[in-house]
């Protein structure tokens, strides 16, 4: 396996006793955003040159309890006139609300905006996803614990994250719970169609399912991704990623030790072995990255086998940039590292 040639940037640990963790990328309106945690604090770093350099990290907020680890952590969304960061925080162990912060000056200063969940502590599992459409409307989804059994809930904001709609039950498994610790995914198409993906629990299997909506209110019936199944009486803590590819949904996720690419109604395609899968659509097609014992690997357009991004790293995240390239970010030795991935 050849090393994928990529110039790697590092954001070094901000504290001697607290590593940088759980990077999440976003790109829109001439800016690339990177959100991550260090200790009990949320940080934001910005790039104005398509991810080739990043400015010094700025503290967004801190909290006594901050959900982080296994795909928990902050998310960033870039709107035309604001940047929104979301994270699940609490005042003590066992609590957790999905909180939003806004910046009106491209990430230099931050103000707490409000809470998404309308039932206190319903989001205490700490796993959520958020995305924006072309008009700046936000949609958030999370694993909800307001009643027995984990369920998928969602909410919309039409004012840049200042206020949120009444929470809506998006999916409830007839088995009594969806997978309890796998992060959900959101993807919004260029025409505003919202799609959600989560790991389900049905008949002893833990497979990925999707629903979609043209108006963000009424969702279609759940569809299973892939034709195989994973019989598992445990949570793998691994949700995968979702994207729109020219109007069609495409997903990447893990089953057992294997990584797959799948589209609704079609057989899944094995890409490699690993976990903690991320996906993005760039020039030339679909990019997928994951981690395993070899480090972080990526399947990029034009390659027939995975390419090694780095020999050491974990929890890779991908973002499609406005110039058509794809940026990767991951944890490594207490730092956050980033690299542009180029199609062959």
Q: What percent of the chain has pLDDT over 70?
A: 98
Please, where are the H alpha helices in the chain? Answer: none
**Residue range 246-263: average pLDDT?**
96
**Residue range 184-193: average pLDDT?**
94
- pLDDT of 119-163, one tens digit each? 999 999 999 999 999 999 999 999 999 999 999 999 999 999 999
pLDDT band at residue 2 under the 50/70/90 scheme: very low
Element (H, E) at 200: none
pLDDT at 329 > cutoff 70: yes
pLDDT at 86 > cutoff 70: yes
pLDDT at 3 > cutoff 60: no
**Residue range 6-15: average pLDDT?**
90
Contacts of 137 (CB under 8 A, 6+ apart): 156, 157, 158, 192, 216
- Rounded distance, CA 243 to CA 227, Å? 19
**Residue range 247-255: average pLDDT?**
96
94 within 8 A of 150, measured Cβ to Cβ: no
- pLDDT of 16-44, one tens digit each? 899 999 999 999 999 999 999 999 999 99
Q: Which residue has the higher pLDDT, 129 or 283?
A: 129
CATH code assigned to 8-341: 2.120.10.10
- Answer whether 0.85 is exceeded by the pTM: yes
pLDDT reported for residue 217: 81
pLDDT reported for residue 218: 84
Mean of all residue pLDDT scores within the chain: 95
Q: Which residue has the higher pLDDT, 126 or 343?
A: 126
At residue 188's C-alpha, the angle toward residues 234 and 147, to 5°, is 40
**Residue range 249-259: average pLDDT?**
98
pLDDT band at residue 1 under the 50/70/90 scheme: very low
Residue 158: burial class (beta carbons within 10 Å; 0-12, 13-18, 19+): middle
């Amino acid at each position: 396996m050849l090393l994928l040639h990529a110039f790697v940037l590092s954001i070094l640990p901000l504290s001697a006793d607290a590593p940088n963790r759980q990077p999440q990328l976003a790109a829109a309106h001439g800016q690339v955003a990177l959100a991550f945690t260090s200790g009990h604090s949320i940080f934001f770093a910005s790039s104005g040159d398509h991810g080739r350099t990043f400015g010094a990290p700025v503290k967004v907020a801190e909290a006594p309890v901050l959900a982080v680890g296994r795909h928990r952590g902050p998310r960033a969304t870039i709107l035309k006139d604001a940047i929104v960061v979301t994270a699940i925080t609490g005042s003590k162990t066992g609590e957790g609300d999905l909180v939003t912060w806004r910046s009106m000056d491209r990430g230099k200063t931050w103000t707490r905006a409000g809470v998404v969940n309308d039932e206190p502590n319903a989001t205490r599992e700490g796993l959520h996803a958020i995305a924006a459409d072309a008009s700046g409307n936000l949609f958030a989804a999370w694993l909800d614990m307001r009643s027995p059994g984990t369920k998928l809930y969602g909410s919309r904001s039409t004012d840049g994250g200042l206020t949120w709609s009444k929470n809506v039950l998006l999916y409830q498994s007839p088995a009594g719970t969806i997978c309890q610790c796998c992060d959900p995914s959101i993807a919004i198409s260029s025409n505003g169609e919202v799609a959600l993906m989560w790991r389900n629990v049905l008949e002893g299997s833990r497979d990925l399912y999707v629903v979609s909506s043209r108006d963000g209110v009424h969702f279609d019936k759940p569809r299973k991704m892939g034709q195989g199944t994973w019989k598992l009486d445990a949570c793998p803590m691994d949700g995968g990623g979702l994207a729109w590819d020219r109007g069609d949904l495409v997903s990447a996720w893990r089953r057992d030790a294997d990584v797959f690419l799948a589209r609704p109604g079609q057989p899944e395609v094995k890409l490699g072995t690993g976990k903690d899968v991320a996906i993005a659509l760039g020039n030339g097609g679909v990019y997928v990255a994951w981690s395993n014992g070899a480090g972080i690997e990526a399947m990029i357009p034009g390659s027939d086998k995975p390419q090694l991004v780095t020999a050491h790293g974990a929890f890779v995240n991908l973002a499609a940039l406005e110039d058509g390239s794809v940026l990767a970010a991951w944890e490594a030795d207490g730092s956050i590292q980033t690299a542009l991935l180029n199609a062959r």
